[in-house]
Amino acid sequence: MQSYMKSIAKRWWQKGAVLALSALLLPMIVVGTGLAVDLGNVYVQYSRLQNAADAAALAGAHEYAVKGDTLANHGNADKMAKKYIKGEYHNLDENEENVDYNDDSFMAGKADDAVYYRVKLVKKVPLYFLGSIKKSVDVTAVSIASMQGGATNNSFKNLFIFKDGFSATNTVNDLGVLKDNAIYDDLNRGKNMISDVFDGRIVYTKGDGINNPSYYPKENIRHSVQTEGKEFLHPLDRFYTSYGKKKNKDTSIKVLMSDKEKDNPVAKFDDNGELQSGNWSKAGYYNYKFQTFYDFVRDKAKDCKNIADDQNIYTDSNLFKSDVIVVPNTNRIPNVNITVNKKLGDSDVPIYVYIKSGMGVVNIKLDTDTGRPLIICIDGDDNNRPQVTFALNGHTFKGVIYAPYCKAVKYGDRIEGLLVNATNSTFIGTIVTSYLNLNGDHCTYKYKDYVGGSSGAGSTSSVSADGISLVSPPDGIKWQ
């Protein structure tokens, strides 16, 4: 009997323990279940939000490339991205609430040779079982699409790009004033000295596409002026803009030699390289690869016929009814003369003149304004260095002179490379060469992009719509 009673007591004790344990664990089970439900819902919402951000970033990047958007203005990309979030091609419910996106959600940035487009979405996800603790949690999805450069992403964005040296004559008149401190200190002197203006960046490069900001040209960047029959050399440490020349009308050159931003603001350029404000700039390093643009032009010219053997090419010929002209190097034509004797129209759609490697001398001369821009690409390499001269003769040239392997010859202390004679002339575009010589006064040099999509110069863009992919954020990128 006693044994039987002990058995019953044991069973009742076990049941009580189970009930007590169940009562103790039940709140934890409820919380665990609620946590699992809420976390599961958050994960599902995040996945949907991330899919929408990915689709929006890819679509926006594609639109950026084909519409020629810029870092500062990517409205086309933003509009398309929104369509992939809650619009025409939406990945989220059209009426879905709590999804936050605004102008700051769509950003662009650049690092090395790639442009990046970023979409950032935020959604408030309600918490059900944990609502008494926290009503909702913010879920964030970020997606970044990379746009590698197309054929022209190695784009110029600069007025002059040179490798080995730069010299200019008479960009500043009466430069001897700077030798005489007594005259130089007189703020009533040194006015109206600026002759030439440079409304664009001037940069030096190694030309191999490898980032090397410590590189500096072998030769000095210098200015020369003829005074009393002698050449006076002075370091050309700054290039004055049209704003600086205007200020020099009533302000001494001494003030314009100051580095103080308040008194003498440095030039500022937009993302396309065009001057926005400021009086002066200095030459800086630019990571550029000569081969990229050569490949681009060679590809454009591959299906074009060579012109007939002719050493003299004129713009009034039927050749210039084509948008691409190929000039061969033959034994009969070791040299070529290109003369602009007829204006080519008023549009900014360029005409490409591709001069094949091996040419000995290339002379470019203007008898009138070009009208349409000319992209004159002179092929070469370390073993094929043509001599190039460029005479504007008081006219306006629009376009590009691309001669990175131009021959440079040393005459005593002076080196002569691509020789530009531009007195009373206007150059608009880009020059790329090894050693650049500018001759003349009252010249205007202005950067404009006639190759990239931002110029309206055709369908090409500074980035390619091919090869767009989702990537992790690059180090140090600044979004705008």
User: Between these two residues, 290 and 19, which has the higher pLDDT value?
Assistant: 290
**Does 167 lie in the same domain as 72?**
no
User: Between these two residues, 373 and 135, which has the higher pLDDT value?
Assistant: 373
Task: List C-alpha distances in Å: 1 to 6, 7, 12.
Answer: 9, 10, 17
What is the three-class DSSP state of 246?
helix
Q: Dihedral of the CA atoms 5, 11, 12, 15 (nearest 10)?
A: 180
The pTM is what?
0.66
Place of tokens 């202005």: 446
**Does 217 lie in the same domain as 127?**
no
User: Between these two residues, 422 and 66, which has the higher pLDDT value?
Assistant: 422
Among 149, 175, 200, where does a domain finish? 149
**Does 177 lie in the same domain as 143?**
no
Identify the pLDDT of residue 130: 66
Identify the pLDDT of residue 105: 87
Mean pLDDT of 218-245: 66
**Does 349 lie in the same domain as 260?**
yes
**Does 431 lie in the same domain as 341?**
yes
Identify the pLDDT of residue 454: 36
Identify the pLDDT of residue 331: 61
479 domain residue, yes or no: no
Question: Other C-beta atoms within 10 Å of 364: how many?
Answer: 24
User: Between these two residues, 144 and 410, which has the higher pLDDT value?
Assistant: 144
**Does 12 lie in the same domain as 119?**
yes
461 domain residue, yes or no: no
User: Between these two residues, 416 and 355, which has the higher pLDDT value?
Assistant: 355
Q: What is the DSSP letter of 81?
A: H
**Does 68 lie in the same domain as 167?**
no
**Does residue 206 have a pLDDT over 80?**
yes
**Does residue 229 have a pLDDT over 60?**
no
- How many Å apart are CA 386 and CA 338, to the nearest integer? 14
Mean pLDDT of 227-254: 74
Residues near 242 by beta carbon (within 8 Å), at least 6 away in sequence: 197, 199, 275, 444
In percent, the amount of the chain with pLDDT more than 90 equals 28
Among 149, 170, 188, where does a domain finish? 149
Question: Other C-beta atoms within 10 Å of 160: how many?
Answer: 27
Question: Other C-beta atoms within 10 Å of 405: how many?
Answer: 22
Lowest mean pLDDT among 74-78, 130-134, 281-285, 351-355: 130-134
Task: List C-alpha distances in Å: 98 to 81, 143, 229.
Answer: 18, 19, 78
Domain region containing 140? 2-149
The most confident of the ranges 215-224, 276-285, 406-415 is 276-285
Task: List C-alpha distances in Å: 392 to 317, 389, 417.
Answer: 20, 10, 17
Smallest CA-to-CA distance from 280 within 249, 248, 244, 250 is with 244
Smallest CA-to-CA distance from 168 within 200, 195, 192 is with 195
- How many Å apart are CA 10 and CA 212, to the nearest integer? 85
237 domain residue, yes or no: yes
Lowest mean pLDDT among 60-64, 128-132, 143-147: 128-132
Q: How far is CA 284 from the centre of its chain?
A: 15
**Does 173 lie in the same domain as 137?**
no
Q: Give me the DSSP letters along 324-337.
A: EEEE---SS-SEEE
**Does 190 lie in the same domain as 126?**
no
**Does 128 lie in the same domain as 190?**
no
Identify the pLDDT of residue 422: 94
Written as six digits, the tokens of 207 are: 């030309």
Residues near 309 by beta carbon (within 8 Å), at least 6 away in sequence: 328, 330, 332, 333
Lowest mean pLDDT among 41-45, 78-82, 266-270, 426-430: 41-45
In percent, the amount of the chain with pLDDT more than 70 equals 74
φ/ψ of 149, rounded to 5, equals: -65, 140
**Does 301 lie in the same domain as 199?**
yes
Lowest mean pLDDT among 82-86, 203-207, 225-229: 225-229
Identify the pLDDT of residue 409: 81
Smallest CA-to-CA distance from 378 within 349, 358, 398 is with 358
pLDDT in tens, 149-203: 544 445 678 999 999 888 888 788 766 555 555 555 666 777 888 899 999 999 8
472 domain residue, yes or no: no
185 domain residue, yes or no: yes
Smallest CA-to-CA distance from 264 within 239, 249, 244, 241 is with 244
When pLDDT is cut at 50, 70 and 90, the band that residue 478 belongs to is confident
φ/ψ of 295, rounded to 5, equals: -60, -40
475 domain residue, yes or no: no
Among 88, 121, 149, where does a domain finish? 149
Lowest mean pLDDT among 36-40, 203-207, 401-405, 430-434: 36-40
**Does residue 131 have a pLDDT over 70?**
no
258 domain residue, yes or no: yes
How much is the mean pLDDT over the chain? 79
Domain count, the chain: 2
Host H or E run for residue 161: strand 160-169
pLDDT in tens, 28-42: 655 556 666 777 778
251 domain residue, yes or no: yes
φ/ψ of 291, rounded to 5, equals: -65, -30
Identify the pLDDT of residue 64: 85
**Does 400 lie in the same domain as 302?**
yes
User: Between these two residues, 36 and 377, which has the higher pLDDT value?
Assistant: 377
Identify the pLDDT of residue 408: 84
